[in-house]
Amino acid sequence: MLVSGLVVEMRLTVKLYATLADYLPAGSKNNRVEVDIASEIAGNATVDAVLAPFLLPAKLTHLVLVNGVFIPPGERATTSLKDGDTLAVWPPIAGG
């Protein structure tokens, strides 16, 4: 697939919940956006790299899941993503 002159290697779904939904691009629906990763950078598509363009404050990326599996903070810079993965992020939530 060709997008903006780049060959797309993979497509991911990014879901941002609760107050993090404010960081999604305008027009996003159901707290999600599809992200195309160009072949030139697909080998470096880690959790942190994919989330970086959303400018999420680190203290708000409390619970991060890839395909339903928790990714601890210390592994987010090295956990690689692949075509079709779903990356979901929740902020800290307090209850009462």
Model confidence, pTM: 0.86
Q: How far apart are alpha carbons 95 and 87 in whole angstroms? A: 24
2 band by pLDDT with thresholds 50, 70 and 90: very low
Alpha helices in the chain (DSSP H): 47-51
3-state helix, strand, coil in the chain (%, to 5): 25, 35, 40
9 band by pLDDT with thresholds 50, 70 and 90: confident
Q: How far apart are alpha carbons 39 and 54 in whole angstroms? A: 20
Q: Which domains does the chain have, with CATH numbers?
A: 2-90 (3.10.20.30)
* Residue at 87: amino acid letter: L
| pLDDT tens-digit series, residues 47-96 | 999 999 999 999 999 999 999 999 999 999 999 999 999 999 999 987 66
- Where is average pLDDT lowest: 10-24, 31-45, 54-68? 31-45
